[in-house]
Structure formats: C-alpha cells, structure tokens
Amino acid sequence: MDSLWTSEEIAAATGGVAGTGFAAGGIAFDSREVGPGDLFVALAGEATDGHRFLDQAFAQGAAGAIVSADTDHPHVRVPDTFAALEDLARAARARTAARVIGVTGSVGKTSTKEALFAALDRGDPGEAHRSVKSYNNHTGVPLSLARMPAASRFAVLEMGMNHPGELAHLTTLVRPHVALVTTIAPAHTEFFPDESAIADAKGEIFQGLEPGGVAIVPYDSPHRERLIAAARPYAGRIVTFGTDRQADVHPIETMTLRTGGTFVTAKVGDRELSFTIGQPGAHWVSNALAVLAAVDAAGGDLGLAGLALAELGGLPGRGARLLAPVDGGEAIVIDESYNANPASMAATLSVLAGEAGRHVAILGEMRELGAGSPGYHQALADPIEAARVEMALLVGEAMAPLAQALEGRVKFVHVPTAAAALEVLPGMLAPGDAVLVKGSNGVGLSRVVAALAGGMA
C-alpha cells in the first residue's frame, strides 16, 4: 500500500500531536467506508460523533485516526477534527503540482466531473484524481482534496452549494487553475430570491482561481454576462462553451446516432475535433463541450478526451442503465434517482422520449424549490406529455400540482413515499418498457431502482 499520509505529516499539517506512528493509504470520515490502511477522521456532527465509532473503524482496518479526545488507538490529536480535515486539505493542495479543475453548476456537475476525469485519465492513466460520488460540500471537498496523492498530474474537484458564500470558501481550499460553471438553473431556489442570485453564488468559484487561471462559462446561459463579470477580476482568461457559434467551444455539426449517442464535430478555439458522445441526450452535448474546454485549458489531450467521451457509461443515479426482470421478459431502466430540478427533469424526459417501447416515468418530487415549487412541478406536465409517457408514478406530496395538471392527459398514480411506490409497482411494468426513475435524492428512489433490478416489478 502506498502511503498517502504519515502520522508525522498529519501532525505537521494540522498542528496536532501524534501518538503511535502510522502511515495511511486512504481517508474516510464515515466509519462504514473505512478500509484497511485508512485514516479515520472522527468528525463531531449534529446527529452523532465520530469518536463513538473509533473501535468500529479500527476493527475494519484503520491505520490511524484524527481525534479530539483520548483514545488508545494510533492517532493524531487536534483541538477540532473538522478544522484538521481542512488543514489536511490545504496541505494536500500545497504539496501537489497537479493542474486543478474546479467544477460547479446547477445541473451536470457530477456527470461533467466524471467525464473530465475519464478524459484526463485516458491520457495519463493513474495520474488523475477526482472527487468521489458527489462529495462536493463543506466536508466532501476537503476530504476529496486530502485524498489527493501528491504525485497527481490532474485533479477534478466538484463543488456544490445551497447558500451564498459556500463556494467562496470552498474555492479557497481548491485553488483551481481552471474553474468551470456547467449551467445555471432553478435549484435550491428555497434559499435564493431568483436565478440571478444563484448565478452570483455559482460565480464565487472564480474567486479562488490561481493567478493566470482560466474561467469557463456557459455561453448559452442568460446569465453569461453576469458570470463573465464575476470571473473577470480573477481570471487570466475567460473561455465560453455552448451551442451558439459565437462560443469559443461550440459544435459545427451534430448527428444523433441510432445508439442514442451523438456524433459531434466541434470547434475548440482554432482547432476542430470530431468525436462521439456515448451518452444519450442533448444535455450531454453541452457537457461534452464543457469537458473539451476544460481539458484544453488544463493542458490535456483533446483527441484522447474525445475517445473517453465515446467510452463513458452512465453513473449510478445519474444515467446508468439496467435491465429489470418483469413477467415475460425485461424492461430497461434509466437510473436518474440521485437528484432532480426542473432543468434536469426536462433533460432526462427528453432522453426517455427517444427510447423504444412503452414509456414509463417514476418521478419523485423536486425539493428545495421554495415558494415556486408548485409551479415548477406543474410545469413538468408538458415535457411528460412530449416524452409520450403512458404511465407516470408520482412520488411525494409536492407532486400534487403535477398530478392535477396530468388529469385527462397522462395516466398516473400518485403516492406519498418511495415505500408506497414499492407497494404499487409490482405488475405495473411489461417487457420492452422504457422506465425513467428520477427525483430528489431525499425521496429515496434509489430503493425503487434496487427493487427493479431485483425483479420485484
């Protein structure tokens, strides 16, 4: 096992006091994710205290822990374990020569981050680092940084927010050479007065740019000029991407393939590149253009990036496809269960529209939309009808306005919870159906996907 951090290095980075010496090859703050040789950071949260799980972490093979209380296990003791995690993140960022790319946006952050990683790893296998899962908040970002091997050549860090000021802090930890905003759309509107305020909050990512860094902005966004203004004081260069030919990175031509993917010839600055996007949907064309802009800005290989985009598969909860056993055959399930907002709902419904077979939509409520929530849910009726959905299973109380809007237009069942959805789902599907499962993560539709994969329907 290669050493990521020694106890002496951790103590130096955090100002802590090391007990018995150890070397760690990985880091976790969730005791359930601790593996052999890992460093366990015992965070004290609102719901529980990581110190309660020290014995469990070491039983699973932890090499050492960062703690703020006495323990007989190998450790580095600090006054505040969360502050120590941030200190370790800063130390990881300071010791690397990697080109660092920060990614944020209302829609497409994780998918774009994964595609960027695949593109950079294709050119330098094993030398690219990324945030895992959707570790993009106040604990996930420092954890992702602290996990970065010192010898990494590239790093792709996802940053999220649901309040003003969050990205302003996270970007000072990441200190990106390239800062990318994927798109601006209604998300977390419960915490913002309007979409312009969301754009301002996303634009905070540019404040952490390294000198001479590159800001990448969506040209097609109505908030383009707002984002450019936010980037201008910090960026050495501003690059735009989008479908408009005035964008610095734009498609010259596109062709939808029978597989559902897209063949694209794109202009990247003064160069042209032809490539295939394996993932279906127009939103993936935008994602791919953003990826090319970021790879180019980071000094990666554009040709290999194009190959990576062709090979990229769907992520669990974000476009992964699976076959669900049903009586007499199988149904195809598009797993978009991780998150949802009005823009991503419309985008994935348009993907469903291109599928063969009967179209079934299992849709969970969209959360954190504030006072506009009823209108946003009601507005899904048109894209559902345009996707030729023959059966909709609506999950969550906030779906009531959509249920009213679908009356007489699309057959549907409305239930309050994912557990209730599991009760009505058996027998609802038939062989050859195309099933979209999408909703905010808190609705719990991942349980529905797991049940479908197990053949319960």
Annotated binding site for ATP, which residues?
A: 105-111
436 contact partners, CB below 8 Å, separation of at least 6: 334, 336, 348, 349, 351, 352, 359, 360, 361, 362, 363
How far apart CA 108 and CA 115 sit, in angstroms, is 10
Instruction: Give the position of tokens 């498609």.
Output: 251
- In the DSSP assignment, the letter for residue 369 is -
Q: Are strands 329-336 and 434-438 parallel, antiparallel or unpaired?
A: parallel
How far apart CA 313 and CA 321 sit, in angstroms, is 9
- Residue 440 is encoded by which pair of tokens? 């905010």
Q: Which residues are annotated as a binding site?
A: 105-111
* Element containing residue 123 per DSSP (H, E): helix 109-123
- In the DSSP assignment, the letter for residue 52 is G
E runs forming strands in 311-423: 320-326, 329-336, 359-364, 389-395, 412-415
Integer CA distances (angstroms), 390 to 172, 385, 386, 387, 433, in order? 48, 8, 11, 9, 10
Instruction: Give the position of tokens 């040789």.
Output: 37
Q: Classify the C-alpha dihedral 132-80-202-171 as positive or negative.
A: negative
Do 357 and 326 contact (CB within 8 A), yes or no?
Answer: no
Backbone angles phi, psi at 258, to 5 degrees: -65, -25
Integer CA distances (angstroms), 378 to 131, 390, 405, 407, in order? 35, 18, 6, 11
Integer CA distances (angstroms), 303 to 120, 130, 271, 300, 307, in order? 11, 21, 11, 9, 7
276-285: burial string, b at 16+ Cβ within 10 Å, e else: bbbbbbebbb
Q: Classify the C-alpha dihedral 354-312-178-95 as positive or negative.
A: positive
The alpha carbon of residue 386 and the mean position of all alpha carbons in its chain are separated, in whole angstroms, by 27
Which three-class secondary structure state does DSSP give residue 271?
strand
